[in-house]
Amino acid sequence: GVALDLARASLSSGKHFVTANKAMIAHHGTELAQLAEANNAHLMFEAAVAGGIPAVKTLREGLAGNQINRVAGILNGTCNYILSTMETTGRDFDEVLADAQRLGYAEAEPSFDVDGIDAAHKLTILAAIAFGHQPDFNAVSIQGIRDVSSVDFA
């Protein structure tokens, strides 16, 4: 796509590149990182993962001397809100999703979030940093939360 072409062109010419495009980083992060390194440029994508906290910086710098065995966390705020609300109120998915959309926590078209794509992109990025190898995104098993019901919390 256009974003990938722009990233490649910028990094190839030694220009630093900043992006929040998690899909591009999840699919092409290793390639872009190698291109950046080869051309003495920086590829910055902290905003693509847990934008409010420095997850990428923490993995790269703060935990550099540690052996990381797993990566876990709340990766999607929309899903966290929906699941937490379903658990505490007993309300069903569709009702809580509608509330989340009304409150601005969920997009009008929430598939990217509730079908697990957003979390999978973020986890692919974090795993690549933590373990030094970019997983094949197409081989990642993705399961969303659409089929979760209040019975699942009982």
Catalytic residues: 122
Q: How far is CA 33 from CA 36, 41, 43, 143, 147, in A?
A: 5, 9, 6, 28, 37
DSSP assignment letter at 48: G
Tell me how long the chain is: 154
Pairs from 80-89 (Cβ < 8 Å, separation ≥ 24): 81/105, 81/106, 82/106, 82/114, 82/145, 83/145, 83/148, 86/148, 86/150, 86/153, 87/153
Nearest to 123 by CA among 28, 26, 44, 4: 26
